[in-house]
Structures are given as C-alpha cells and as structure tokens.
Amino acid sequence: MVKYFCLFLLLVGAGISGLEARVQIVWPTPNPAYANGEGPEAFIQPTISGRVESGLFGCIRNSGARFHEALDLKPIARDRRGEATDPVVAVMNGVVVYVNRIAGNSGYGRYVVIEHRDVSPAIVTLYAHLSKIREEVRPGGVIRAGQRIGIMGRSAGGYTIPKERAHLHFEMGVWLSESFQEWYDWKGFGSKNTHGLFNGMNITGFDPLDFYDRFREGNVSDFTDYFRSIPVAYVVRVKSDRIPDYLRRYPFFFRGSMPTGGPAGWEIGFTATGIPKEWRALADEPEQRQNAQVIWHDAELVNEYRCLRTVVIRGGNASIGGHTERSLQLMFGFRR
C-alpha cells in the first residue's frame, strides 16, 4: 500500500491547498514511472508494432483505422516463467458492478468494472486481461482506492496475448443504457451477452491519461471540472419525448430547464469520442424527417477520432455515424 499512498499524495496535491475539494485517485498499477514524471514509454505496453502510441487511447491501431478505448499499462514484475505479477488496484472508491472470471467469454479476458458513485458524473473504470481476480471482489461490493482487484495478465477470449506483452487494459467512461440487453437481442449478434449492462459496447470512454495529466497539473480538481473542460465536437437534434435513463443516472449533463409538458425533443452535445455531455430539452418537436440529425459540428475535433465514425462528413455536410447511431439506439430505443 505504501507505493499507492505515495502516488496518492502526488496526484491529490502536494503543494495544493483545499485538498478536500480534490478527488482521491491513485494509479492502477505499482509502476512508479507516471508518478515520477517519466514518459509513456516507461509505463505503456506497445502492441507487436513496438510503437509506444499503440498502447495509448485513440485511433492508434491499424494505421489509424482502429480505435483503442484504453491505456495498456506494462508490468514491472514477473515470475520465473516470465508471467506478469503486478497487482492491479481500484483507482478510486467505488462499487464493483461487474466481474467476468471466465477468460474465454470476452476479448477483455477476465475483467472487472467499478462504478465510482462518489464523483460527479459517476464514472466507471474497467480493468481487463487480468490473470486472477481476487475472490472477495464481487458485484455489489464496496471497494476503496488502492484496494487490490487482481493480478495483471494476458487473459483474452478469441485470441492470444503473448506473455511478453502482458498488460492491464484500463478504461474510464460512462455507461449508456439500462436497456442494453433489448438492443443486443434486436441487433442479432448471434452470441449470448454474458456481461449484462457492462458489456463493453454499453460503455463509452474518454482518455484516462488526459484526465490524469490535467489532474496532476492542477488544471482540474475532479470529474466535474474535467467534463466541463472537454469541448463539444458535434450536436445532434433528436425527435423524441423520451427521457433516457442515461439522464437520470447523469443529471450533471442536463442543461437548462425541462419544459412544463415534458420534452418534445433534445439537442445533445457530444464529445469527440462520442460521450453525450450536454443535453437540452426542446419544448417543440423538431421539424425533421429523421429521428436524429447532426445540426452542428467542429470538423477538426471530429477528425481527431475519425476512426470512431461518430460523424460522417462529406462535402462539408455532417451525418450521424455508426458510433453515434448505436448510442442513440441504446438511449432512445430507435429501431431502423
């Protein structure tokens, strides 16, 4: 615990007053490189390409065509067989909401999802490719910052991670819908959803390293600050009187006031990675043929994560891409 406590002091504010206003957060592995101010090459595990950026968040795989929604963190300890032995810990206080102990059930292998309900918005963190998960880590259990979840590894379903590239796949994000199973069944994927609401398709994320950097530099003190600092990349107008459970879960994202008779539609501002972060209720039904359409976009911001296909831009005109369409289907129940 000493290693994690030292990192806690570094992140929570050496030389910063008003510590009670700062979120309590630690690094998920014992590697001290980030706390020591070293570069990503000291804590990121690259893919077979050997390129450090291949283990970062963003459009960094397949020559920029494939999105990676996490940080891949390398081990600093191995046993005599060369297997990683680094403990993995919860980065903040929270509640365990999902545990997958069967490696073959997911491309994530063995993984744990924790919801952090003491912060606003109540983000989730995901810890994947674990070799072992502690027996006491169970859904519904309270967990503390720095408490061990399991051991770093290379578990995965459907493919093999060689032991020299064992790592922790670490995500931060929000989850979209309590109706995920209904959507999953409608899509007809042909395989059982064994992960309930915390299937990776129901989680949309942001760059963990960006948050840690801004937090360490004192630019943000918590996730309220952080989400306020993330710019809107595009706005979608939605024709629906439904109030998604997403808004009940994340009232922080609601702006303005609710019309007396309830909403007739919505204008939703999305981040470049597709997080619906600004919601405004419309009193009158939008005059548009589609259930949803893009009414504004920042081409530069959208292009930063173009492999996600949040928005498709042709001839300067923007339309809803597959990533955003999935989010809207999940939140509003749209069926095309």
Q: Give 122-143 pLDDT, tens digit per residue.
A: 999 999 999 999 999 999 999 9
Task: Please tell me the distance from the alpha carbon of residue 199 to that of residue 113, in angstroms, as a whole number.
Answer: 10
Instruction: Provide mean pLDDT across the span 223-244.
Output: 97
Please give the residue range of the domain that contains residue 9.
2-215
Are residues 203 and 236 both part of a single domain?
no
Q: Are 22 and 12 in contact (CB under 8 A)?
A: yes
Are residues 51 and 131 both part of a single domain?
yes
Domain count, the chain: 2
DSSP reduced 3-state for 19: helix
Beta bridge partners of 94: 143
Residue 251: CB atoms within 10 Å: 10
* Angle in degrees, 0-180, between the axes of helices 322-332 and 180-187, rounded to the nearest 10: 120
Are residues 206 and 58 both part of a single domain?
yes
- 60-91 tens-digit pLDDT: 988 888 999 999 999 999 999 999 999 999 99
The predicted structure's pLDDT at residue 1: 43
The pTM of the whole model exceeds 0.85: yes
Closest by Cα among 160, 57, 175, 158 to 113 = 175
Strands (E), the chain: 58-61, 66-68, 71-73, 87-89, 94-100, 110-115, 124-130, 132-133, 142-143, 148-151, 168-175, 203-206, 234-238, 254-255, 265-270, 276-282, 292-297, 311-314, 317-320
Mean pLDDT of the chain: 92
The predicted structure's pLDDT at residue 19: 39
Task: Please tell me the distance from the alpha carbon of residue 9 to that of residue 191, in angstroms, as a whole number.
Answer: 45
Domain annotation covers residue 15: yes
pLDDT at 8 over 60: no
Lowest mean pLDDT among 13-17, 168-172, 318-322: 13-17
pLDDT at 5 over 90: no
What the block records as the tokens of 56 is 């970062």
Instruction: Provide mean pLDDT across the span 82-102.
Output: 98
Last residue of a domain, one of 188, 215, 242: 215
Q: How confident is the model at residue 57 (pLDDT cuts 50, 70, 90)?
A: very high
The predicted structure's pLDDT at residue 221: 95
Task: Please tell me the distance from the alpha carbon of residue 320 to that of residue 169, in angstroms, as a whole number.
Answer: 29
Domain annotation covers residue 254: yes
